[in-house]
């Protein structure tokens, strides 16, 4: 991990994937290579404050991504769901900061903090130390939390400093991704690509990151020539990725991909 330079290739790939299912992977790849070593999970959470009071009424997940490329690991997703639905946020040490935040701050929490719930047991089992950037956006309170994997070294001062500095770019980028994902047209595209991801996982089909990106463009109606231009590849390479992907999925032709992606099994 090298913080002495900005990797414009990684940033470009992240920006290109805004609003698509590739964004989660690209974001985690960038964060784990440039910001936090041994990064396991990242989550962006919104805290709804009850009107006219200083109490949190509910919590919503805005964005999350984990170490595995294919999807958020089951235990990490379960922990996030318990945090929201079972109101485990009441035990979270950062909650007091949520209610008093006036400016962006960074809070580090030990990985072995004892929380007497199933959520606490999961966190202790799968996640190590965490650091949260707590901030306000459009008068709403949020926390952007980076979790290290259990049994790894704690955050060093360099990681904390660069993460705080990078948050000026990270936070608006995450909100832009969420906005594009929820846009009527972009939302349909997002659901289509998410279906592809889920079908690949369900059928235990392993496509490379580049093969997934080519298939995503194919699903959106791009020709091989247009895919080559969009992904900065040779047209011959694109056709190779298409043929290889179609073969791995077990289809006869590329036109079957959209049907396979959307068909209920």
How many CA atoms lie less than 13 Å away from 77 in the CB half-sphere?
7
Instruction: Kindly tell me if the per-residue pLDDT of 95 is higher than 60.
Output: yes
Closest CA to 146 of 55, 30, 57, 48: 30
- What percent of the chain stands above pLDDT 70? 88
Q: Under a CB-based contact definition with an 8 Å cutoff, are residues 26 and 14 in contact? A: yes
Q: Quick check: is 2 in a domain?
A: no
Q: Give the number of other Cβ atoms within 10 Å of residue 52's Cβ.
A: 6
Q: Residues 178, 215: one domain?
A: no
Q: Which of 167, 182, 197 finishes a domain? A: 182
CA dihedral 113, 118, 122, 128 (to 10 degrees): -10
Closest CA to 89 of 51, 134, 126, 52: 134
First to last CA, the chain: 43
**3-state DSSP call for residue 69?**
coil
Q: Quick check: is 13 in a domain?
A: yes
The token pair that represents 167 in the structure block: 């948050």
**In the chain, alpha helices (H):** 8-16, 22-34, 74-85, 95-100, 118-126, 157-182, 184-202, 209-219, 224-231, 235-249, 256-262
Q: Which of 162, 182, 202 finishes a domain? A: 182
In eight-state DSSP terms, residue 88 is: G
Note down the domain range covering 209: 184-262
Q: Residues 258, 129: one domain?
A: no
Question: Residue 252: exposed, middle, or buried by beta-carbon count in 10 A (0-12, 13-18, 19+)?
Answer: exposed
Q: Residues 125, 162: one domain?
A: yes
The count of structural domains within the chain is 2
pTM over 0.75, yes/no: no
The CATH number of residue 170's host domain is: 3.30.450.80
CA dihedral 216, 218, 221, 225 (to 10 degrees): 120
Q: Residues 81, 204: one domain?
A: no
Q: Residues 113, 213: one domain?
A: no
Q: Quick check: is 253 in a domain?
A: yes
pLDDT-derived band at 238 (thresholds 50, 70, 90) equals very high
Q: Which of 129, 158, 182 finishes a domain? A: 182
Residue 11: the pLDDT is 79
Q: How far apart are CA 113 and CA 120, in angstroms?
A: 8
Q: Residues 138, 205: one domain?
A: no
Q: Quick check: is 67 in a domain?
A: yes
Q: Residues 62, 80: one domain?
A: yes
Instruction: Kindly tell me if the per-residue pLDDT of 177 is higher than 70.
Output: yes
pLDDT-derived band at 248 (thresholds 50, 70, 90) equals very high
Instruction: Kindly tell me if the per-residue pLDDT of 242 is higher than 70.
Output: yes
Q: Under a CB-based contact definition with an 8 Å cutoff, are residues 43 and 60 in contact? A: no
pLDDT-derived band at 264 (thresholds 50, 70, 90) equals low
């Amino acid at each position: 991990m090298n913080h002495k330079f900005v990797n414009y290739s990684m940033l470009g790939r992240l920006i290109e994937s805004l609003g698509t299912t590739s964004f989660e992977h690209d974001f985690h790849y960038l964060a784990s290579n440039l910001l936090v070593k041994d990064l396991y999970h990242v989550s962006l959470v919104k805290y709804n404050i009850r009107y006219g009071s200083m109490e949190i009424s509910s919590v919503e997940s805005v964005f999350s991504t984990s170490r595995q490329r294919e999807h958020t690991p089951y235990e990490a997703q379960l922990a996030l769901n318990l945090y929201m639905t079972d109101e485990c946020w009441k035990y979270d040490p950062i909650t007091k900061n949520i209610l008093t935040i006036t400016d962006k701050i960074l809070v580090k929490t030990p990985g072995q903090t004892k929380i007497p719930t199933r959520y606490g047991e999961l966190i202790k089992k799968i996640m190590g130390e965490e650091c949260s950037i707590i901030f306000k956006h459009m008068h709403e309170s949020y926390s952007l939390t980076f979790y290290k994997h259990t049994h790894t070294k704690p955050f060093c001062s360099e990681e904390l400093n660069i993460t705080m500095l990078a948050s000026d770019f990270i936070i608006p980028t995450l909100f832009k991704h969420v906005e594009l994902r929820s846009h009527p047209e972009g939302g349909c595209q997002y659901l289509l690509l998410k279906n592809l991801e889920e079908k690949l996982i369900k059928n235990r089909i392993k496509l490379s990151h580049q093969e997934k990106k080519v298939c995503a463009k194919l699903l959106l109606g791009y020709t091989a020539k247009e895919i080559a231009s969009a992904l900065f590849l040779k047209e011959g390479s694109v056709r190779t990725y298409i043929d290889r992907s179609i073969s791995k999925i077990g289809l006869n032709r590329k036109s079957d991909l959209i049907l396979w992606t959307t068909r209920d099994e």
